[in-house]
Structure 1
Amino acid sequence: MTDHDLPENLRYLIEEFNRSGLRELHIRKGDFEVLLSHADTAIRAPRRQASAVPSKVEAPTPARKVAEAAPAKGGSFTRNAPEGTIVISAPNLGTFYRSPKPGTPPFVEVGQQIAAGAEMCLIEVMKLFTTVKCEVAGTVEAVLVEDGSMVEAGQPLFAVREA
């Protein structure tokens, strides 16, 4: 199969995978299955005849299109960061967690003063957790996504007013 034979949305998924830094991505929906891997030791299923080929593969939602959701617990939810703030974005695709583990307080709260390098949240993908740190010292103005929601690489997570 050449690159020209791929549906446009699948090509987009492959490009995003290559930019994400992930080593492996496995997606299965009905009869459609795709495994993307940079590892030489990736487990590959034996080829089988597909019973149906989807006519359209859904592309990920653009990062700037934040889902309308309830405010994150203890924070505020806004579609866009308040003017004059610095946006802290997701380094990769994954699940956004405000706390280090369930039942514990969030890393940061709206209105909290934080130092440069302060831990703000975790992004989890395939049991691999990435700590997101603030790049500047300042005040947390807004939490832009809901705890436990899926985020994309580059999606705004927090708005911080620099001190």
Structure 2
Amino acid sequence: MGNISTNDIQSLIQLFEKSDWREMHLILGETDLFLSKDRNAQTQISLTTAAPSVPAPSHRASVPATPVETPDPKPHGSKIPAGWTLVKAPSLGTFYRAPKPGAPMFTEIGAQVAADSELCLIEVMKLFTTLRAGTHGTIREIYAKDGELVEFDQPLFLIEPDA
């Protein structure tokens, strides 16, 4: 586990920018990644073992972290009806609606779900978390797009309870 891909590095940078962390330093094999939100800090990135499509820099680069806008906590500014369940992301990561590419989606709008029904996968650095409905009902909204990076506590699904 000494190699880190360009996609992994991009995902780490996106996750770091959206986190409340001040600094992150990752050493994996010969790859050394250092990120800081302190503009006065010397942010350093060394990608000596990155994927072949990305040339390794011959010097350390200084890159300030960019500010990230916080999304509206309510999906699309709408009001959630009383008794309905808003299923939120348990962590930062990539949102997948199917178990693998080309496979049927876990659920669709209008589908009936049970408490243990799988709704999606959230992936961070090749680790997948299965998100379950947690309640019986009907899927009324799906807020995230397949393959989209989602934030911790971001609304993903709206479930209307069974009558």
RMSD: 3.5
Pairing partner for 2:80 from 80, 83, 88? 83
Pairing partner for 2:66 from 58, 63, 72? 58
SS in 1 for 2:21: helix
- The equivalences for 1:2-17 within 5 A come to 13-14=20-21
Q: Percent identity?
A: 35
**Equivalent in the alignment of 1:123:** 122
Which segments of 5 or more consecutive residues in structure 2 lack a partner in the other structure? 1-15, 36-42, 47-58
The 3 A distance-change label for structure 1 pair 82 and 117 is: farther
- Kept in 2: contact 1:93–1:125 (CA 8 A): yes
Number of residue equivalences: 120
TM-score of the superposition, structure 1-length normalised?
A: 0.60
1:60 shift after superposition? 4.0
Q: Distance in 2 between matches of 1:100 and 1:80?
A: 30
TM-score of the superposition, structure 2-length normalised?
A: 0.60
Structure showing greater relative contact order (alpha-carbon pairs closer than 8 Å, 6 or more residues apart) = 1
Which segments of 5 or more consecutive residues in structure 1 lack a partner in the other structure? 1-8, 18-23, 35-48, 67-77
The 3 A distance-change label for structure 1 pair 151 and 118 is: same
- Kept in 2: contact 1:81–1:158 (CA 8 A): no
Provide runs of 4+ in structure 1 moved above 6 Å: none
Q: Distance in 2 between matches of 1:27 and 1:97?
A: 28
- Is 2:140 aligned against 1:132? no
**What amino acid maps onto 2:21 in structure 1?**
I
SS in 2 for 1:79: helix
